Amino acid sequence: MPLWRPLRSTDLPAVSAIAAVVHPAYPEDDAVFADRAAIAPEACFLLEVDGAPAGYVLAHPWRHDSLPALNTVLGAVPAAPDTLYVHDLALLPAARGSGAAAEIVARLARVAQPHGAMSLVAVNDSVPFWTRMGFSPRVMPPLAAKLASYGADACYMTRPMAPHSC
């Protein structure tokens, strides 16, 4: 049974190995994975299936309508973040179709609540998945050059968070 748990520093080699399988066109240094886990541990998780690493998600607070550059160590969350940016969600083929992706997106939505929104760059033909998760494409001409670095099919997407009711 798939189980999401908080990411630990000892998981970084597994994250790197999964990233190499799932996102070979988007290589990132291990320092980037460690950075995301350090600046937002509440939004970084490892997926285990039968005790073995099978996926991960890295997210962090950020500023709406802006993108962090690929393979860049951030060092800190920006002042007054207003979105939870999903840096990466990667599942090995064996974990796909298990419902684990939808489960972690729901968990991230709870983390994102205080920020008011979630945002991401969809790659690898994942726009249909993210649309099912409540995200919508957002055309931002000022982001075009940075978005192009993510690949021809890259799409900036956002999801507003419903306000909490008392």
Domain-located, residue 149: yes
Q: What's the CA angle centered on 7, arms 81 and 86, to 5 degrees?
A: 35
Domain count, the chain: 1
Residues 6+ apart with CB under 8 A from 33: 12, 15, 16, 19, 58
For 53-73, how does the pLDDT look when each residue is reduced to its tens digit (9 = 90+)?
999 999 999 998 889 888 999
> Residue 83's domain spans which residues?
2-63+76-160
What pLDDT does residue 164 have?
53
What pLDDT does residue 106 have?
96
Closest CA to 45 of 7, 14, 17: 7
Domain-located, residue 138: yes
Q: Which two tokens stand for residue 97?
A: 């179709």
What pLDDT does residue 155 have?
94
Domain-located, residue 147: yes
Torsion, Cα of 165, 163, 56, 68 (10° steps): -160
What pLDDT does residue 61 have?
97
Domain-located, residue 103: yes
Residue with tokens 């908080």: 6
Q: For position 24, which CATH number holds? A: 3.40.630.30
What pLDDT does residue 57 have?
98
What pLDDT does residue 135 have?
97
**Cα–Cα distances in Å, from 103 out to 80, 86, 123?**
27, 14, 20
Domain-located, residue 16: yes
Domain-located, residue 69: no
Q: Within the chain, which residues score under 70 in pLDDT?
A: 163-166
